[in-house]
Amino acid sequence: MRINHWAYLWRCFWIVSSFTISTSLLAYVQNRSIYGDKVKWPHRTIAINVVTGNSSNLSKEEVVSIIKNSLGIIGDSGWQQHSNLSFTLTIDAAPAKNKNDIYFTKSGETFAGLSCEASGVIGKTETMYRQSSGEVLEADILLNDNCFFFADPSAGAMYLGNAVVHELGHLLGLGHSEVADSAMFYLLNDGQRELHSDDIAGVEEVYPGNISKGSIRGVIVGGSRLPLGVMGGQIEAFSSNNGQLIASAISDVNGNFKISGLPIDDTYYLYVRPSKYLAILPEYFQSSKKDFCQSGTNYRGSFFQSCLASEQGLPQGIRLYTGNSSIDVGKISIGCSQKVLPEYIEDKELESNEWQVYDDSTEIAGNSVVGIFTGSEINAGTGDVFTIDLSDYEVKSGEIFLDVKLIYQKLYSPLRLSILAQDSFGAVLENQNTEGYTENNYGEKNFDIIEHYRLQSGRSGLNRYTITITPDGQAYSENDFLDASNFLDDMRYYFLVFTVSEKLLTSQYKVISSKLFPTLSDNQSCLDGENTYSVLANIREKENTTTEGAKSNSSVASFVSCGTINFIDNNQGPPSVGGALIGFVMALFVRWFYGLASRRKIAG
């Protein structure tokens, strides 16, 4: 059903930016109503009605197949395959009243009389929800029929499935994300048809029920004198097993957060930072602030660690496993600085830094550390040297490896780093990643590095390695994978994780030993952000209504609308929107690959 525009209370838009490549990070976000309620369906089976007519010469069969794959009715990558939701599908000749339609249109205030480029709008989702609870009543996905969509995934960003998967996320109640490669990433890109673990975690938070996944919750707090919850903090969970950003969340008005959908049998490190682009978040978060540090400066990204001075720069790990899959970490402080271990700084002057990875009291191997480089160290190419002694660690049968996981790109640290490993004789070991980065199917570069070095069986003096982390002498260009300069950090730091793994017959590596954290210590006694002040969420008071009737009753129903707009200045971030666009505006920037741009030009 085409919903009338009498009650637009917030909108979200995909903003198209031509000929740029970009990636960025933020949390999965659940949409909220203007009253602060979470917007979601009251039931787990959702009926979708598809109208296949279009001007892109896509056949009925092609449109239906793409939508079925996006929903997960067929294939293994859609929403149904990664949630406890299910969908039913009908096909109709036109949008129908009281149905959740997906259809192509050239009409309406957003599309009418404008080319795809002129309007900039590729598609949008309109959701009607109940004011009293946020319960979704109906949702429609409108695809701009002035735009030319493709049925072939190799067509790039304008493959129809990219837009449909993203808009279905909005239909389910998810807001925009800045997690690279996620379907809800606020820039349209050539991989959005595939769900990222952050998308899966998001839908699990909205519609819980997967008992095989875990969760981490806590409170983001600032204020050394008067502790206060901090709204709009981004909390990102990095996996010890694979070094990847698995999922993330955003703190509410009281600082509370919960990251759901986390695979168990893994240890997670939490990284907390302020939101980068408030404009893409639900209106609820629009009043978030970050100028809580000395002299009104902004708090910055930092890892969750204990209050002990001896553990500065040593992030705490949160282990999730069967029987202990839901953890409350307590209060996590915002950070006004990036803390590093004092001994690490002192040992930079030494040729070798003995780094404890093996704990003989537990016979467990594993550790992690935050490192940092100065400008002079980068110019000189001076590396950080870690000597890893595993000679007392008993290596059992099989192919066992020391894992070195170097994370910095996902932290937006302006560095290019390399790993050099030497054995106990000083011989240089061969790296698997010879380029210093990996590249996915869509041409995106990942500069974070994971290397594996074979350990000798038994307790062997040969299991002693020297690991050197070296800056390449020049920072990477943000244009390699960014189009928004304010994502780059102002410090050059990295996160290093050591684990031990076994190489399986599938050539995959399974972690068999990582650092243990028997107890967690929250930050109640060492809160940063001395100037933290109270901030209220951007919500309205609910209207006094005694009955809740039909959707057409504006006293009980409101709208969420999400769409796609063209041409912005990427250095400025999401544009401000006023005038006819009432209330909240979420901006989703569309990423264009060079090849796609030329293909689209040829296609006319």
The mean per-residue pLDDT over the stretch 56-84 comes to: 94
Length of the chain: 604
Q: How do residues 307-349 score in pLDDT, each as one tens digit?
A: 998 899 999 999 999 999 999 999 999 999 989 998 899 888 7
Q: Over 50: is that where the pLDDT of 545 sits? A: no
pLDDT for residue 552: 41
Q: Coil, strand, or helix at residue 600?
A: helix
The mean per-residue pLDDT over the stretch 57-85 comes to: 94
Q: How do residues 389-431 score in pLDDT, each as one tens digit?
A: 999 999 988 899 999 999 999 998 888 999 999 999 999 999 9
pLDDT for residue 542: 61
Name the nearest CA neighbour of 33 among 572, 515, 462, 561.
561
pLDDT for residue 506: 94
Phi, psi at 295, each rounded to 5°: 60, 25
pLDDT band at 205 (very low <50, low <70, confident <90, very high): confident
**Residues pairing with 257 in the sheet:** 218
Q: What percent of the chain has pLDDT over 70?
A: 80
Q: What percent of the chain has pLDDT over 90?
A: 55
pLDDT for residue 477: 56
Q: Coil, strand, or helix at residue 194?
A: coil
Q: Over 60: is that where the pLDDT of 578 sits? A: no
Least confident of 125-129, 280-284, 350-354: 350-354
**Residues pairing with 419 in the sheet:** 469
Parallel, antiparallel or unpaired: strands 445-446 and 438-439:
antiparallel
The mean per-residue pLDDT over the stretch 54-59 comes to: 96
CB-based contacts of 474-482 (< 8 A; 24+ apart in sequence): 474/378, 474/416, 475/378, 475/414, 475/415, 475/416, 476/414, 476/415, 476/416, 476/447, 478/414, 479/21, 480/21, 480/445, 481/21, 481/22, 481/23, 481/409, 481/444, 481/445, 482/22, 482/23, 482/24, 482/412
Q: Dihedral sign for Cα 510, 515, 518, 520, please.
A: negative
What is the distance between the alpha carbons of residues 344 and 313, in angstroms, rounded to a whole number?
9
Q: How do residues 477-535 score in pLDDT, each as one tens digit?
A: 555 554 445 677 888 999 999 999 999 999 999 999 999 998 999 999 999 999 999 99
Q: Over 90: is that where the pLDDT of 102 sits? A: yes
What is the distance between the alpha carbons of residues 211 and 258, in angstroms, rounded to a whole number?
16
The mean per-residue pLDDT over the stretch 226-232 comes to: 95
- If you compute the radius of gyration of the chain from its CA atoms, what whole number of angstroms results? 25
pLDDT for residue 541: 67
Q: Coil, strand, or helix at residue 576?
A: coil
Q: Over 50: is that where the pLDDT of 584 sits? A: no
pLDDT for residue 18: 21
CB-based burial of residue 559 (10 Å sphere; 0-12 exposed, 13-18 middle, 19+ buried)? Answer: buried
Name the nearest CA neighbour of 297 among 278, 314, 274, 313.
274
pLDDT for residue 27: 44
Parallel, antiparallel or unpaired: strands 364-365 and 509-513:
unpaired
Q: How do residues 466-479 score in pLDDT, each as one tens digit?
A: 999 999 865 555 55
What is the distance between the alpha carbons of residues 402 and 464, in angstroms, rounded to a whole number?
10
Parallel, antiparallel or unpaired: strands 101-105 and 367-372:
unpaired
Task: Give pTM, 2 decimals.
Answer: 0.83
Instruction: Please report, to the nearest 10 degrees, the dihedral formed by the alpha carbons of residues 281, 283, 285, 290 taken in order.
Output: 90
Q: How do residues 108-120 score in pLDDT, each as one tens digit?
A: 777 888 888 887 7
Least confident of 26-30, 93-97, 195-199: 26-30
Name the nearest CA neighbour of 31 among 504, 536, 583, 483.
583
pLDDT for residue 284: 86
Domains identified in the chain and CATH numbers: 8-206+559-603 (3.40.390.10), 339-514 (2.60.120.1050)
Parallel, antiparallel or unpaired: strands 213-222 and 256-263:
antiparallel
What is the residue-wise DSSP string for 451-473?
EEEEPPSBS-TT-EEEEEEEE-S
What is the distance between the alpha carbons of residues 490 and 593, in angstroms, rounded to a whole number?
28
Residue 50 backbone zone (phi > 0: left; psi -120 to 50: alpha; other: beta): beta
pLDDT band at 583 (very low <50, low <70, confident <90, very high): very low
pLDDT band at 446 (very low <50, low <70, confident <90, very high): confident
pLDDT for residue 486: 60
What is the distance between the alpha carbons of residues 55 and 431, in angstroms, rounded to a whole number?
51
